[in-house]
Amino acid sequence: MDEELQMITVEIVAYAGDARSKYMEALEAASRGEYGKVESLIQEGNDLITQAHNTQTAMLQKEAAGEKLDMSFLMVHAQDHLMTVMLLRDLVKSLVNLYKK
């Protein structure tokens, strides 16, 4: 894996990891009834997911342009991490709605 591709995958992991933290903070805030804080934290998480997705898109564009990308454990981990955090986002939103009831 070349250095540029390695940095792209690390960026995806970092953005997704930060988003995960925001979503978990949002869930904790919801458990305390701090719903204004919840919305802010979810938006921060969403912004981080957008950054991760933009980074992922750059990688996909390279492959679509014909550049051969070596598959690595780091790349698989990055994709798995991003998908898991996107699922967490959806679950947190549902749990927040339950807390509000």
Report the pLDDT value the prediction gives residue 1, as an integer from 0 to 100.
63
From 13-17, 48-52, 75-79, 81-85, the region with the lowest mean pLDDT:
75-79
63 has pLDDT over 90: no
Q: What is the pLDDT of residue 72?
A: 84
77 catalytic? Reply is yes
For position 2, what pLDDT does the model report?
79
| Measured torsion, CA atoms of residues 3, 9, 10, 11, in degrees rounded to the nearest 10 | 110
Q: What is the pLDDT of residue 18?
A: 98
Least Cα distance to 44 among 14, 21, 28 occurs for: 21
Q: Which residue among 77, 79, 93, 99 is the active-site one? A: 77
15 touches 83 (CB < 8 A) = no
Report the pLDDT averaged over residues 39-68: 92
Q: Provide the b/e sequence for 14-27 (b: ≥16 CB within 10 Å).
A: bbbebbbebbebbb
| More reliable by pLDDT, 22 or 63 | 22
Which one-letter DSSP state was computed for residue 32?
T
Domain 3-100 class, CATH top level: mainly alpha
Give residue-wise pLDDT tens across range 67-94. 888 878 888 899 999 999 999 999 999 9
For the chain, the structural domain boundaries read 3-100
